[in-house]
C-alpha cells in the first residue's frame, strides 16, 4: 500500500487542530463536526448524533455479506497541558492527554484510504465514539441502537500505548483491560467535643481502622492467581482541631479482570463496614459503582488481529492485561472483537497517558492507519 504518503501531512495537521481545540465527553461538537465534514468529503454515508455526539460512517463495497466496525474515541481530559507544543490546547484545563486526537486521525486516514481503494467486499462501519473518559460513551451509543442500525459481526479498537516501542502492535486473547469500579463510603457518628470522646462515636478512628482493613482484601480474600487492585484515594472529615466530626467519607477505586473476583471484593467491603459499625458504634453506607466492565477480547478476533498486525509492523502477544479501564468493553460485551495497543514510546522515559506532558506521537500514525486498513481487508475479503 503506497497510496498513503499524500494523506499523512494533512492528517497530522488535522490531529494537531483537534489537539488545540479539545472537548470533554459529550461536548465534542466541533470535533464531531470536523470529522463529519472530512467523511462526507470522501463520499461516505455519515450518521451523526448517535449516543450524543457520536458518528458512524458507512462504506459498502461489492456483494459481500460480512460486516465490521472500527472504533476511535474523540474526547479529551480535564487536565492542564504542559507540553509547550506549538499545537497546545487553547482551552484552559482541557487537553488530549490520552491521544484520542491521534485515534481520530488514524481512523479518518483509514477511511480515506479505503474510500478510494476499498479492496474488500462487505460493509465497514467507522465508529467515532464520544465520552470514553469515565462517562460510558460506548454504552450510550449501544443504547441508541448502534449495533441494530449498523451491524458489526466484529469490532476492533486501537489505543496508543507509551509503554511499548513506537510502532509495535500488541494484544492478547481474554482480558486486556481491567474492570473499573469506584466506591464511596460514609461513616456517621454524632459529632462532639474532642475533649469528650467517650460521649460520641469517633468516625475518624472508625475510618482509620476501615482503611487498614480494606487494604487486606486483595492480599487475604482474593486468590494469589487473580489480579486485582483496591486503592483508597480519598478521606474527608473534620474541620476543627477540637471537634470530633459527625461523619467521614472514604473514596477509592477497585480494578479487576474476573466478575467472580469483583463480586468477592464488594462482598468483603460490605462485611467490613458492618464490622466497623459494631466495633465503633457508627453507621456505615457504601455506594459501589461498577462503571466499566473488564475489556475481554474474543480469542479468535485477537488471534486474527495479531496475524494481520504482523503484516504491517512488529506484532507481539501482550503478556498480561493492564489494570486501567476502557469503555470499549461495552462493545465487546455485544459483539466479538479485540482491543489493540499501538506503541508510541519515544526516548527512555516517555510521558504516560493522562500526564500533562503527554502528546500523541505522530510518527506512528502511518502504522495505525495501515493496521485499520489491513484489519478491514482481512475480515471483509473479496
Distance CA 228, CA 257 (A): 7
Query: Are 297 and 338 a contacting pair, CB within 8 Å?
Result: yes
* DSSP-assigned beta bridge partners for residue 73: 129
* Residue 348 banded pLDDT, cuts 50, 70, 90: confident
> Angle at the Cα of 350 (from 348 to 353), degrees rounded to 5?
155
Distance CA 304, CA 299 (A): 9
Parallel, antiparallel, or unpaired: how do β-strands 243-244 and 283-292 relate?
A: unpaired
The share of the chain scoring above pLDDT 70, in percent, equals 99
* CB neighbour class for 317 (10 Å; exposed up to 12, middle 13-18, buried from 19): exposed
User: Is the pLDDT confidence value at 1 over 50?
Assistant: no
The share of the chain scoring above pLDDT 90, in percent, equals 98
Distance CA 132, CA 238 (A): 35
Which CATH code for domain 179-292?
A: 3.30.70.360
pLDDT single digits (tens) 124-178 = 999 999 999 999 999 999 999 999 999 999 999 999 999 999 999 999 999 999 9
Whether this prediction's pTM lies above 0.85 is answered by: yes
User: Is the pLDDT confidence value at 382 over 70?
Assistant: no
Mean pLDDT score, 103-129: 98
User: Is the pLDDT confidence value at 212 over 60?
Assistant: yes
Q: How far is CA 56 from CA 119, 211, 228, 350, in A?
A: 20, 45, 35, 33
Task: Tell me, yes or no, if the two domains 4-176+294-380 and 179-292 fold the same way.
Answer: no
Class of domain 4-176+294-380: alpha beta
State the cell numbers at 63.
456483494
Cα 328 to chain centroid distance, Å, stands at 7
pLDDT single digits (tens) 43-94 = 999 999 999 999 999 999 999 999 999 999 999 999 999 999 999 999 999 9
Cα 191 to chain centroid distance, Å, stands at 41
* Mean pLDDT, the chain, integer: 97
Domain ranges of the chain: 4-176+294-380, 179-292
Determine which helix (DSSP H) or strand (DSSP E) holds 340, and give its type and residue range.
strand 337-345
Closest CA relative to residue 342, chosen from 109, 104, 160, 106: 160
pLDDT single digits (tens) 286-333 = 999 999 999 999 999 999 999 999 999 999 999 999 999 999 999 999
Q: What is the CA radius of gyration of the chain?
A: 24
Distance CA 31, CA 132 (A): 14
Sheet arrangement for strand 283-292: 228-236, 247-256, 179-188, 283-292
Half-sphere exposure of 304 (CA within 13 A, CB side): 20
Distance CA 148, CA 161 (A): 31
Give residue 265's pLDDT.
98
* CB neighbour class for 351 (10 Å; exposed up to 12, middle 13-18, buried from 19): middle
Cα 356 to chain centroid distance, Å, stands at 17
Q: Is 159 annotated as a binding residue?
A: yes
User: Is the pLDDT confidence value at 120 over 80?
Assistant: yes
Q: Is 98 annotated as a binding residue?
A: yes
CB within 8 A of 302, min separation 6: which ones? 171, 172, 173, 174, 338
Give residue 205's pLDDT.
97
pLDDT single digits (tens) 248-271 = 999 999 999 999 999 999 999 999
Q: Is 354 annotated as a binding residue?
A: yes
Amino acid at each position: 500500500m503506497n497510496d498513503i504518503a499524500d494523506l499523512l501531512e494533512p492528517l497530522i495537521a488535522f490531529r494537531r487542530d483537534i489537539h488545540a481545540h479539545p472537548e470533554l465527553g459529550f461536548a465534542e461538537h466541533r470535533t464531531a463536526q470536523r470529522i463529519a465534514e472530512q467523511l462526507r468529503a470522501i463520499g461516505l454515508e455519515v450518521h451523526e448524533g448517535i449516543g450524543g455526539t457520536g458518528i458512524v460512517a458507512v462504506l459498502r463495497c461489492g456483494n459481500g455479506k460480512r460486516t465490521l466496525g472500527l472504533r476511535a474515541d474523540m474526547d479529551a481530559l480535564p487536565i492542564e497541558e504542559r507540553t509547550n507544543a506549538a499545537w497546545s490546547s487553547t482551552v484552559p484545563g482541557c487537553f488530549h492527554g490520552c491521544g484520542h486526537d491521534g485515534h481520530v486521525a488514524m481512523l479518518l486516514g483509514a477511511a480515506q484510504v479505503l474510500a478510494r481503494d476499498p479492496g474488500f467486499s462487505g460493509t465497514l462501519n467507522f465508529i467515532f465514539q464520544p465520552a470514553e473518559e469515565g462517562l460510558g460513551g460506548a454504552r450510550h451509543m449501544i443504547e441508541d441502537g448502534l449495533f441494530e442500525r449498523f451491524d458489526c459481526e466484529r469490532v476492533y479498537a486501537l489505543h496508543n500505548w507509551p509503554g511499548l516501542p513506537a510502532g509495535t502492535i500488541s494484544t492478547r486473547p481474554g482480558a486486556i483491560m481491567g474492570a473499573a469500579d469506584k466506591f464511596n463510603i460514609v461513616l456517621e457518628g454524632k459529632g462532639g467535643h474532642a475533649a469528650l470522646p467517650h460521649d460520641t462515636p469517633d468516625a475518624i478512628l472508625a475510618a482509620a481502622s476501615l482503611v487498614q482493613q480494606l487494604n487486606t482484601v486483595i492480599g487475604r480474600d482474593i486468590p494469589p492467581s487473580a489480579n486485582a487492585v483496591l486503592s483508597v484515594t480519598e478521606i474527608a472529615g473534620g474541620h476543627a482541631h477540637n471537634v470530633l466530626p459527625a461523619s467521614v467519607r472514604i473514596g477509592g477505586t477497585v480494578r479487576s479482570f474476573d466478575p467472580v473476583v469483583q463480586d468477592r471484593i464488594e462482598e468483603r467491603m460490605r462485611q467490613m463496614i458492618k464490622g466497623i459499625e459494631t466495633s465503633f458504634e457508627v453507621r456505615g453506607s457504601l455506594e459501589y459503582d461498577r462503571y466499566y466492565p473488564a475489556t475481554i477480547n474474543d480469542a479468535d478476533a485477537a488471534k486474527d488481529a495479531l496475524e494481520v498486525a504482523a503484516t504491517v509492523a512488529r506484532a507481539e502477544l501482550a503478556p498480561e492485561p493492564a489494570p486501567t479501564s476502557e469503555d470499549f468493553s461495552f462493545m465487546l460485551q455485544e459483539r466479538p472483537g479485540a482491543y489493540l495497543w499501538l506503541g508510541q514510546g519515544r526516548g527512555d522515559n516517555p510521558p504516560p497517558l493522562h500526564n500533562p506532558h503527554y502528546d500523541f506521537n505522530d510518527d506512528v500514525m502511518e502504522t495505525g492507519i495501515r493496521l485499520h486498513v489491513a484489519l478491514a481487508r482481512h475480515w471483509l475479503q473479496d
